[in-house]
């Protein structure tokens, strides 16, 4: 699955293949022996890599010595490496938001079957263990390392979103609350009128301001009172500006939205804008239509199904 403005190499989204999300892949690097390949990975991890977020862990067991030859047939691996890659962000644990993701990296380096290349098996697993969706980061970690070393792109063999279904999408008849990652919800403060204020507010499933239906056919996001989320741009041309309530009209482009269950974004169907809560930490925070950015936490919404 791909999304608009999706960063390079982030399309292989994994949904908890290893409990947490993960990606296993392999490459064959021509014209290099295993020792040189091992040293290249060590240098990259030790230096922080191209984004300064790679890390080399203890190397006490890096060289496998005679161990691979104690098996029949002998194992191809000559070196193993442990490392990590960190990314910014927040995640929930025991009711509290915590900062930072730390993904575990593993590499096995050895000889290819034809003897003409070095074979590298690589693995990235999301951290913390509760990271069930990686938004493509597991594969991205491996691809970024290979690209910086001038090696071929890794070929996924396990995880990396292989053969997985996409996340749940709501049916048109289901009532939901749109909750951002800080626990406040999209709230139509003036839901009875055109041009009504849309804001963030503490989530309350009994509050009619916060109950919506997402119509996947028309793209309308309807409040219980029959008004819809609308980009307040003039006329029929979506543009950055406040999000308001307006009488539902499926012919208006500025009322057509798509919900992306992977990124959590509500995206304008006819443009490059997303619903953005720039004051998402507060009650009464403003809600805007803003250029989509998959890394922008203001644009990440969860759907809470409500029984009505």
Is 15 within a domain?
no
Residue 94 Rama label (left phi>0; alpha psi -120 to 50; beta): left
Q: Cα-flanking dihedrals φ and ψ of residue 132, to 5°?
A: -80, -20
For 68-96, give one letter per residue: b (16+ CB within 10 A) or e. Answer: beeeeeeebbbbbbbbbbbbebeeeeeee
Residue 139's domain spans which residues? 22-159
Counted domains in the chain:
2
Partner residues linked to 213 by β-bridges: 175, 222
Look at the pTM and tell me if it is higher than 0.85.
no
Q: What is the mean pLDDT of the chain?
A: 84
User: CA dist 189 to 5, 40, 134, 240, 285, Å?
Assistant: 31, 57, 34, 20, 11
Of 129, 159, 189, the domain-final residue:
159
Is 97 within a domain?
yes
Spatial distance between the Cα atoms of 115 and 93, rounded to a whole number of angstroms: 48
Is 7 within a domain?
no
Selected residue with higher pLDDT from 131 and 157: 157
- For the record, the structure tokens of 105 come out as 């990296």
Residue 135 Rama label (left phi>0; alpha psi -120 to 50; beta): left
Question: Is 129 a residue whose pLDDT tops 60?
Answer: yes
Contact present, 105 and 84 (Cβ < 8 Å): yes
Question: Is 234 a residue whose pLDDT tops 50?
Answer: no
CA angle 142, 146, 122 (to 5 degrees): 45
pLDDT tens, position by position, 146-174: 999 999 999 999 999 886 544 455 556 67
Q: Using a pLDDT cut of 90, give the percent of the chain over it.
A: 45
Same domain, 70 and 193: no
Question: Is 231 a residue whose pLDDT tops 60?
Answer: yes
Of 102, 131, 159, the domain-final residue:
159
Count Cβ atoms below 10 Å from residue 174 Cβ, excluding itself: 15
pLDDT tens, position by position, 22-74: 999 999 999 999 999 999 999 999 999 999 999 998 766 688 889 899 998 88
Of 122, 137, 159, the domain-final residue:
159
Same domain, 108 and 181: no
Selected residue with higher pLDDT from 220 and 91: 220
Is 167 within a domain?
no
Residues 6+ apart with CB under 8 A from 75: 67, 68, 69, 110
Burial of 243 (0-12, 13-18, 19+ CB in 10 A): buried
CATH number, domain containing residue 39? 3.30.310
- For the record, the structure tokens of 226 come out as 């029959």
Question: Is 282 a residue whose pLDDT tops 90?
Answer: no
- For the record, the structure tokens of 88 come out as 């910014």
Is 13 within a domain?
no
CA angle 223, 229, 232 (to 5 degrees): 150
Instruction: Report pLDDT for 61.
Output: 64
Is 3 within a domain?
no
pLDDT tens, position by position, 250-280: 998 889 998 887 678 899 988 889 999 988 8
Is 10 within a domain?
no
Question: Is 240 a residue whose pLDDT tops 80?
Answer: no
Region 186-212: mean pLDDT is 91
Same domain, 29 and 111: yes
DSSP one-letter code for 12: -
- Which of 106, 53, 52 minimizes the C-alpha distance to 83? 106
Is 121 within a domain?
yes
Same domain, 140 and 182: no
């Amino acid at each position: 699955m791909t999304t608009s403005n999706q960063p390079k190499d982030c399309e292989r989204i994994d949904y908890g293949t290893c409990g947490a999300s993960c990606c296993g892949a392999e490459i064959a690097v021509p014209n290099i022996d295993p020792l040189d390949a091992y040293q290249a990975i060590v240098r990259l991890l030790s230096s922080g890599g191209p984004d300064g977020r790679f890390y080399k862990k203890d190397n006490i067991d890096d060289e496998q010595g005679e161990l691979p030859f104690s098996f029949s047939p002998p194992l191809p691996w000559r070196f193993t490496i442990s490392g990590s890659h960190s990314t910014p962000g927040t995640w929930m644990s025991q009711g509290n938001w915590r900062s930072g993701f730390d993904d575990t990296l593993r590499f096995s380096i050895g000889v290819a079957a034809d003897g003409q290349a070095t074979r590298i098996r690589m693995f990235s697993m999301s951290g913390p263990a509760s990271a069930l969706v990686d938004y493509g980061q597991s594969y991205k970690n491996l691809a970024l390392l290979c690209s910086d070393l001038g090696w071929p792109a890794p070929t996924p063999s396990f995880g990396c979103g292989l053969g997985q279904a996409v996340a749940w999408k709501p049916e048109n008849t289901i009532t939901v609350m749109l909750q951002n990652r800080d626990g406040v919800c999209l709230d139509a403060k003036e839901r009875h009128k055109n041009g009504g204020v849309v804001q963030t507010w503490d989530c309350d499933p009994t509050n009619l301001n916060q109950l919506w239906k997402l119509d996947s056919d028309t793209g309308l996001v309807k409040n219980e009172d029959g008004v819809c989320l609308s980009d307040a741009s003039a006329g029929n041309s979506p543009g950055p500006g406040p999000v308001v309530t307006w009488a539902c009209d499926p012919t208006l482009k500025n009322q057509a939205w798509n919900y992306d269950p992977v990124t959590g974004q509500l995206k304008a169907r006819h443009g490059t804008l997303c619903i953005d809560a720039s004051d998402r930490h507060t009650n009464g925070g403003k809600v805007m239509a803003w250029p989509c950015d998959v890394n922008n936490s203001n644009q990440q919404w969860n759907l809470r199904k409500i029984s009505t």
